[in-house]
Amino acid sequence: MLDDPHDLASELPEYQDVIRKLAQDDAVFRDLLSSYNSLDVAIQDIELSGTPVADITAEDLKKQRLWLKDRLFNRLAATAA
């Protein structure tokens, strides 16, 4: 949906404390999170602006965001365990 939040804390609310800690202490996590957030903003801009974009382009961006989310989740789960 267009207005659904996809920031990591909204997507994984049970990990909010771990997200904050890793964003502060783990440079790799911080870089992944930054990339995730940048992609999320780009996707929201495309969806909300109505700018014509090829479906394949939008889908590729969403796949990249999902890939990053999976990597972030793996780091979160390993830390929380």
Task: Please report which confidence band the pLDDT of residue 49 belongs to, taking 50, 70 and 90 as the band edges.
Answer: confident
Whole-prediction pTM = 0.88
Q: Please report, for the chain, the start and end positions of each structural domain, with discontinuous segments joined by +.
A: 8-80
Query: Residues 27, 80: contact at Cβ < 8 Å?
Result: no
H helix and E strand count, the chain = 4, 0
pLDDT value at position 53?
A: 85
Mean pLDDT of the chain: 91
Q: How far is CA 55 from the centre of its chain?
A: 20
* Tens-digit pLDDT profile for residues 12-45: 999 999 999 999 999 999 999 999 999 999 999 8
